[in-house]
Amino acid sequence: MQLLLADDHALVREGLKHTLANLETSVEFIEASTAAEVINILGRDQAVDLALLDLVMPGSDGFSLLAQVCNSYPDLPVVILSGAADPAKMRKAIDIGAAGFICKSATAKVMLSALRLVLAGGIYLPPDMLNKTTVPQTENPAPMVRPEASKRISFAALTTRQREVLAGLVEGKSNKQIASELGLSDNTVKIHVAAILRTLGVDNRTQAAVAARELPFDSKRDG
């Protein structure tokens, strides 16, 4: 298995190599220290199986490298490594197309489990980050929102592509069918489904479809 490690600190890469050597019996590491090196490596004729990208790389303004990689190589699982446990950044990374978000403070066991999940086609989200809120706390409590209004807010937060994927879920289509109709890879659809479930606050695709039926939405709107 070929694993791309992209971080501008050599000591971090060395530590990751020591940990990730236990991921499989045979792991070949390809290292990059800048955004340009990442693009050059992926542009070569190399079968990279998984990419671990530091969120902040020389030559990249945060999420631009992730977006470029996900758009150019939609079938490549990309996991973000970050020293910042920021739920807003986690959500943005997943929405762009990352298959996981791992904090650098995570234990070796957590990191290995997360990457095995991603390699199996899943999406890894730090459990402790899912319960956090990005809404700033104030002295005055937030006004209560009616359930109908809350649902509209959730649907409005979906991107155009996520609405298209959700429309497929409502019709009972599989990820493979949705991917074929929208011209996406199966992995990209999985990522969109994970983002939809998180945004709507539901546990599975059936609940997402039910929620969508309860409140009409236009899958073509940007919202």
| Residue 174 belongs to domain with CATH number | 1.10.10.10
Which residues partner with 54 through β-bridges?
A: 81
Q: Residue 47: which CATH number?
A: 3.40.50.2300
Q: What was the pLDDT predicted at 131?
A: 47
- In this prediction, the residues of the chain whose per-residue pLDDT falls under 70 are 45-46, 127-156, 214-223
**Which residue range is the domain that position 83 belongs to?**
2-130
Same domain, 94 and 161: no
Report the number of distinct structural domains present in the chain. 2
Give the number of C-alpha atoms closer than 13 A to the C-alpha of residue 217, restricted to the C-beta side: 34
Asked if 70 and 95 count as a contact pair (C-beta separation under 8 A), the reply is no
Q: Does residue 135 sit within a domain?
A: no
Q: What was the pLDDT predicted at 215?
A: 59
Same domain, 89 and 198: no
Q: What was the pLDDT predicted at 170?
A: 83
Q: What was the pLDDT predicted at 44?
A: 86
Same domain, 82 and 158: no
Is 0.75 surpassed by the pTM of this model?
no
